[in-house]
Amino acid sequence: MFFHNFKYTLKYLFKSRILIFWTYAFPIILGFLFYLAFSDIEKNEQLDIIDIAIVKEAAGEQRENSEDEASGNSEILLNAFEALSDENSEDQLFHTVYVSEKEAKGLLEKGKITGYLLAFEKTPKVMVKENGINETIFRQAVSEILQTAKLTAVLTEKEAGRQLAAAAGAAGGAGAGQPDWNAVAEKVLGDIQEEQANIRDISGGNLSYTMIEYYTLIAMTCLYCATIGMYAVNCILANMSRKGMRISVGPVKKGRLVLSSLCASYVVQLLGLALLFLFTIFILKVDYGPNMPLVILLALVGSFAGLSMGIAAGALIKANENTKIGIIIAVTMLGCFLSGMMGITMKYVIDSKVPVLNKINPAGMITDGLYSLYYYDTFHRYWFNIISLLIFSALMIGISFFALKRQKYKSL
């Protein structure tokens, strides 16, 4: 019976035009549109050097005052921007002028610069007028540099601590004074070598701010698994469909039936996902980074989260199938929009202003997981997203459980 239902579920899912459109065709079409749009942008933008301004000190403030406050951040920032603005470098990304805050404001108003950086602030601030690609690159550069700076500080502290402890051990507990700063610096430099590459990535043609769009595309496809799962669940529940009434009077355990249908749904989903990966990798030449197995794992877990969303929609929303498909698509699109489908700026804004939103948004989790795989060499953020997705799935299945188990209804 399990296999009988599995086989026919596969059959009707594959034959359902609306489901196949949303889970197979739509992501590929959208991916292709992204490709057309971005290949153009990337060509043009590569030639563009972005005009920015940097404000080194606050108006009216004495230099010494700001010096010790903000030194850590601003030093690294200023150095990094100097490098990125080097006119002799092939990788030049910015054209930078150093002005007062008032002048910077004026330049921005007149549209002479894309934005300016308040480097003296404790957390350096980026001021822009519009939200375009140049603005995004500017922001992204600042955020990457700060991230690296933070990492450097942490690593330095750790390494210094380690050396002190080692020295103390060697001296038999007798007060070891200073760590060997040279050794520390060497170690830290080695450690952050790869992080540094990120900053270089930003400056080079390597920066693919379009990557995020493809990541949201994967997220969207994963979550569209909800339409398939919803439909399969709907067909079994007596209070959701006429077919469900017919199946419910049959001599089969509902749990087994649901499980068998969900397995079939997942298989249909994985095929769609495979298709999308093949299409984006071989035709659109999208680069998912060096960690393909982890990318695939994330897509598998993401699809499971989508499936669980579909179970909830199937078991809990009392509406017809097309309305439910509409709801799933709307929710997924909103989630993808918030995680950067229409431009990374959105992700940037949400992550910095309302971080909780993308922490509960499954599209955000998938996008961020892929993003962190590409940009960071540590996997904490990746695993955090995987675990978040699993918790999300468990929650969705949990709230649907009793509705799924129900056998007799108050009305049909």
Partner 1 sequence: MKNIIEVQNLSKTYKQLKAVDDLSFEVREGEILGLLGPNGSGKSTTINCILSLLEFDQGHIRIFGQEMTPDAYTLKKQIGVVFQDVAVFEELTVYDNIDYFCGLYIEDKKTRKDYVRDAIALTGLEEFVKFYPKQLSGGLLRRLNIACGIAHRPKLIFLDEPTVAVDPQSRNNILDGIRVLREKGATIVYTTHYMEEVEQLCDRIIILDKGRVIAAGTNEELKELTDIEEKVTVEVDGIQQPQLDRIKALANVKEVTNSKNVINIIYGEGENNFEKLLEFLGREKIRYHKIYSERPTLNDVFLELTGKELRD
Ligand X SMILES: Nc1ncnc2c1ncn2[C@@H]1O[C@H](COP(=O)(O)OP(=O)(O)O)[C@@H](O)[C@H]1O
Under the rule (CB under 6 A), what is the footprint of ligand X?
Answer: 411-412
User: How near is the Cβ of 336 to partner 1 at its closest, in Å?
Assistant: 28
The residues, any chain, with a CB within 8 Å of residue 386's CB and separated by 6 or more, are 297, 298, 301, 369
User: How many residues contact partner 1, by CB under 8 A?
Assistant: 29
Segment interacting with partner 1 (CB under 8 A) among 1-9, 112-120, 284-292, 353-361:
1-9
Bridge-based pairing of strands 50-55 and 115-118 is parallel
Burial of 27 (0-12, 13-18, 19+ CB in 10 A): buried
CA distance 397 to 264: 17
CB nearer to ligand X: pick between 95 and 406: 406
- Of 11, 122, 129, 162, the one binding partner 1 (CB under 8 A) is 11
**Which residue has the CB atom at the shortest distance from ligand X?**
411
- Alpha-helical (H) ranges within 85-132 are 101-110
Which residues inside 225-254 make contact with partner 1, applying CB under 8 A? 235, 238, 241-243, 245-253
Which amino acid appears at position 300 of this protein?
Answer: L
User: How near is the Cβ of 410 to ligand X at its closest, in Å?
Assistant: 8
User: How near is the Cβ of 320 to partner 1 at its closest, in Å?
Assistant: 13
Contact partner at residue 162 from partner 1, ligand X, none, CB < 5 to 8 Å by partner kind: none
How many angstroms separate the Cα of 337 from the Cα of each of 29, 139, 334, 382? 17, 19, 5, 20
CB nearer to ligand X: pick between 238 and 298: 238
Query: CA gyration radius for the chain?
Result: 26
CA distance 19 to 62: 65
User: How near is the Cβ of 244 to ligand X at its closest, in Å?
Assistant: 14
How many angstroms separate the Cα of 78 from the Cα of each of 10, 13, 137? 58, 57, 17
- Looking at the DSSP bridge assignments, the partners of residue 99 are 55
End-to-end CA distance of the chain: give it in Å, rounded. 26
Segment interacting with partner 1 (CB under 8 A) among 27-35, 83-91, 105-113, 402-410:
402-410
Q: Show the tokens assigned to 328.
A: 């799933």
CA distance 213 to 357: 18
Contact partner at residue 359 from ligand X, partner 1, none, CB < 5 to 8 Å by partner kind: none
Segment interacting with partner 1 (CB under 8 A) among 11-19, 102-110, 221-229, 349-357:
11-19
Contact partner at residue 409 from ligand X, partner 1, none, CB < 5 to 8 Å by partner kind: partner 1
Contact partner at residue 11 from partner 1, ligand X, none, CB < 5 to 8 Å by partner kind: partner 1
Asked if 408 is part of the footprint of partner 1 (rule: CB under 8 A), the reply reads yes
Which residues inside 12-71 make contact with partner 1, applying CB under 8 A? 12-13, 15-16
CA distance 15 to 5: 15
Angle among Cα 65, 70, 73 to the nearest 5 degrees reads 160
CB nearer to partner 1: pick between 178 and 407: 407
CB 373 within 8 A of CB 298: yes
CB nearer to partner 1: pick between 13 and 220: 13
Contact partner at residue 151 from ligand X, partner 1, none, CB < 5 to 8 Å by partner kind: none
State the residues that interact with partner 1 by CB under 8 A. Answer: 1, 4-5, 8, 11-13, 15-16, 235, 238, 241-243, 245-253, 407-412
